[in-house]
């Protein structure tokens, strides 16, 4: 809880944003990155520009090693770069910063103690004083919120609580049985989905402290809501098919900003319309993302789209064959998106009356999030040598506003990451990244880890990656391959693996290994392969396709897709990409070759990992493969992390995973010499 009765906005004890450069003679010698540095890296993001454009609020997450937790707090940087300061403190943390329309308040979500329990909206008055609890929602959970343009209401997305709050001084009641009749009935982190487990939109009157349901719809998901600038309308995204669990047909809806109003559907595309919505300054149209139809559910590439209040849809930048997200309008009506493009993510203005784009940042790297107000645009940006920080985007370049990791980076001797391109077995051009060991010497190939990204509709790009740097410091090269199925190379490249898992991806991965060997970087006799999620799945496929790897680690993977039908959260993908098992048994058997032919195919020593609470790719997949290899008497190990979802949250487990990765690789790629020395 914020326990300080001073004005953080006007306090004279501001942290200076920059200081004079140290003399070269005083600069300490740089060192290799260490595992302890993982806990020192602060994760910076979610920039929000104040209405007058003078400040940027953002989040900073850091590790509390004693509590074994990660905590997020709010910071603010002055636009001119002269100062930055921390705004919230305490164990409960804070997230989702938003400025009130008049700029007087900075609001946020927090579960800190207050008049109402649970996560509530709080606000700091920029004139001074402690944070005030704005909402008092007791029977539901607040997922997201937004200020009305007049500052009198909050638009809340509320979700039913799984269990009621325990009464003061009394033990929590036993959980009730979960009754389910939904088709899509489980989701990672959320767990089993109850019949009433839908986000719904409410208007919260700040003066009356009363929430009223915005729309008349029931049992549908209402998300990504945004006020029109004139305050008359709310646009949101919803799937209102007869059974929304059976399709990905989200649409953009609009509703009058009054409780109990009937919403009107604006889009009709038989696939996903939505993402973050952006209203035009005149409140007459809405920019959004349009995805692919249901059969390409996991390979969808969103394209720019704009719909008017009358339902007329247009497609800016029609020639752009790259995925886009997070649209923003400038006050004069120019529309921009973030573009995923071949190992980079950059902002680009789209031609609303043409077919092209105008890239707003040429620098290699990835814009993770952004915001704009009063003609000022702030981004969270990362590249190979820098964790994400907040920058001002100006004139096609970046001006740094935060420096949370600068002190650590000043100590470190970091390795460079380079682009590589090569041809796959069938001639397809594939792109990737290669990081050489810190002590690499030409003519002395190094042990190499092929680390496979998940998704598959994602990409390895020019962002700070602790593992790359740590491996380089330990004498390893790391190879990242954007195999077919990845984003950043166009829709055809992404959808090439639909209903054909473990084929083209493996060919692309092995071609990348061949390239690293041919470059003299990778020692062909000291190779390892690793991945998480779809990267874990591809690890299983890869070691079932070749014996060239001395060690493999499959995290949150599966080698028998039929075993996961109804077990994980991807029922729509199974039904629409593969077909149900009783209709497509030969296909399921074909794609299960790592498990069904494990005795003939897999001889690589394998380590399997996963979390017990993962409903994305449940631990079952690793358990099956571990049991199969153990039954055959082959070298294998299983590491189970209690109460962890698909993405781990406990810092000690994250560190443990790094330690076990390295120990496995060292065991098989750096065996001790006969005299006991490595």
Give residue-wise pLDDT tens across range 461-506: 999 999 999 999 999 999 999 999 999 999 999 999 999 999 999 9
Q: What CATH number has the domain bearing residue 532?
A: 3.40.50.1820
Domain limits at 650?
Answer: 415-669
Decide if 392 is inside a domain.
Answer: no
**What confidence score (pLDDT) does residue 566 get?**
95
Decide if 453 is inside a domain.
Answer: yes
**What confidence score (pLDDT) does residue 17 get?**
39
SS (H, E, C) 396-437: CEEEECCCCCHHHHHHECCCCEEEEEEECCCCCEEEEEEECC
**What confidence score (pLDDT) does residue 165 get?**
64
Report yes or no: 634 and 605 within 8 Å, Cβ to Cβ. yes
Which residues does 219 contact at the CB level (< 8 Å), separation at least 6? 195, 196, 198
Q: What is the DSSP letter of 629?
A: H
Decide if 198 is inside a domain.
Answer: no
Decide if 640 is inside a domain.
Answer: yes
Task: State which H helix or E strand residue 665 sits in.
Answer: helix 651-669
What total number of domains does the chain contain? 1
**What confidence score (pLDDT) does residue 161 get?**
82
Q: What is the DSSP letter of 188?
A: T
**What confidence score (pLDDT) does residue 677 get?**
53
Which sign, positive or negative, has the C-alpha torsion 333, 339, 345, 348?
negative
CA distances 590 to 56, 165, 536, Å, are 53, 49, 18
Q: Which segments in the chain show pLDDT lower than 50?
A: 1-25, 674-676
Burial class (CB in 10 A: 0-12, 13-18, 19+), 428: middle
**What is the per-residue DSSP string for 68-102?**
TEEEEEEEEEETTSSEEEE---SSS--EEEEE-TT
Decide if 593 is inside a domain.
Answer: yes
pTM of the predicted structure, to 2 decimals:
0.93
User: What beta strand segments (E) does 51-170 contain?
Assistant: 55-64, 69-78, 83-86, 95-99, 105-110, 120-125, 132-133, 140-147, 153-160
Decide if 523 is inside a domain.
Answer: yes
Decide if 538 is inside a domain.
Answer: yes
Alpha-carbon distance of 574 to 101, in angstroms, equals 45
**What confidence score (pLDDT) does residue 357 get?**
95
Which sign, positive or negative, has the C-alpha torsion 94, 95, 101, 103?
positive
Q: Tally the residues of the chain.
A: 678
Decide if 43 is inside a domain.
Answer: no
């Amino acid at each position: 809880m914020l326990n300080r009765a001073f004005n953080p906005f006007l306090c004279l004890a501001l942290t200076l944003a920059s200081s004079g450069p140290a003399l070269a003679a005083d600069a300490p010698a740089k060192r290799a990155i260490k595992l302890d540095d993982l806990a020192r890296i602060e994760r910076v993001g979610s920039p929000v520009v104040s209405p007058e454009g003078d400040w940027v609020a953002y989040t900073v997450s850091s590790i509390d090693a004693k509590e074994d937790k990660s905590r997020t707090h709010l910071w603010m940087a002055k636009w001119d770069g002269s100062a930055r300061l921390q705004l919230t403190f305490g164990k409960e943390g804070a997230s989702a910063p938003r400025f009130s329309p008049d700029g007087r308040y900075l609001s946020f979500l927090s579960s800190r103690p207050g008049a109402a329990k649970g996560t509530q909206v709080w606000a700091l008055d920029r004139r001074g004083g402690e944070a005030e609890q704005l909402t008092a929602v007791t029977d539901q959970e607040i997922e997201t919120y937004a200020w009305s343009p007049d500052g009198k209401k909050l638009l809340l997305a509320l979700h039913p609580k799984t269990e009621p709050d325990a009464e003061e001084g009394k033990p929590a009641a036993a959980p009730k049985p979960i009754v389910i009749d939904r088709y899509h009935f489980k989701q990672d982190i959320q767990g089993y989905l109850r019949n009433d487990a839908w986000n719904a939109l409410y208007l919260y009157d700040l003066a009356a402290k009363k929430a009223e349901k915005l729309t008349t719809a029931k049992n549908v998901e209402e998300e990504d809501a945004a006020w029109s600038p004139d305050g008359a309308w709310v646009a949101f995204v919803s799937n209102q098919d007869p059974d929304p669990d059976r399709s990905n047909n989200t649409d953009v809806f609009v509703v009058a900003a009054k409780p109990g109003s009937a919403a009107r559907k604006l889009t009709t595309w038989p696939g996903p319309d939505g993402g973050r919505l952006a209203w035009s300054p005149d409140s007459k149209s809405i920019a959004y993302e349009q995805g692919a139809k249901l059969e390409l559910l996991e390979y969808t590439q969103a394209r720019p789209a704009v719909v008017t209040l009358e339902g007329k849809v247009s497609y800016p930048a029609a020639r752009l064959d790259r995925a886009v997200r997070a649209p923003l309008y400038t006050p004069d009506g120019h529309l921009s998106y973030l573009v995923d493009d071949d190992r980079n993510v950059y902002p680009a203005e789209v031609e609303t009356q043409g077919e092209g784009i105008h890239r707003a940042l040429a620098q290699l790297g990835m814009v993770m999030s952004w915001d704009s107000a009063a003609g000022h645009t702030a981004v969270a940006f990362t590249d190979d040598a820098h964790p994400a920080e907040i920058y001002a985007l100006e004139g096609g370049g970046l001006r740094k506003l935060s420096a949370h990791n600068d002190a650590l980076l000043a100590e470190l001797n970091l390795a460079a990451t380079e682009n590589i391109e090569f041809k796959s077995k069938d001639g397809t051009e594939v792109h990737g990244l290669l990081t050489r060991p810190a002590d690499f010497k030409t003519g002395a190939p190094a042990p190499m880890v092929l680390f496979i990204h998940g998704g598959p509709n994602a990409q390895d790009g020019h962002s700070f990656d602790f593992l790359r740097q740590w491996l380089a410091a330990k004498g390893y090269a790391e190879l990242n391959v954007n195999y077919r199925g990845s984003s950043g190379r166009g829709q055809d490249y992404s959808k090439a693996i639909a209903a054909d898992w473990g084929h083209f991806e493996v060919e692309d991965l092995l071609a990348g290994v061949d390239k690293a060997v041919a470059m003299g970087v990778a020692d062909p006799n000291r190779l390892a392969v690793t991945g998480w999620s779809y990267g874990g799945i591809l690890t299983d496929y890869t070691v079932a396709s070749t014996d060239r790897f001395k060690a493999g680690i499959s995290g949150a993977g599966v080698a028998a897709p039929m075993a996961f039908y109804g077990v994980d959260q991807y029922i729509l993908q199974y039904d629409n990409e593969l077909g149900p098992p009783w209709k497509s048994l030969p296909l399921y058997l074909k794609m299960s070759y790592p498990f069904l032919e494990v005795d003939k195919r897999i001889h690589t020593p394998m380590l399997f990992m996963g979390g017990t609470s993962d409903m994305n790719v449940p631990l079952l997949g690793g358990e099956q493969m571990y049991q199969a290899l153990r039954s055959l008497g082959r070298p294998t190990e299983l590491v189970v992390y209690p109460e962890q979802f698909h993405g781990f949250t406990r810092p000690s487990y994250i560190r443990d995973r790094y330690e076990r990765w390295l120990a496995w690789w060292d065991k098989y790629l750096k065996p001790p010499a006969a005299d006991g020395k490595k």
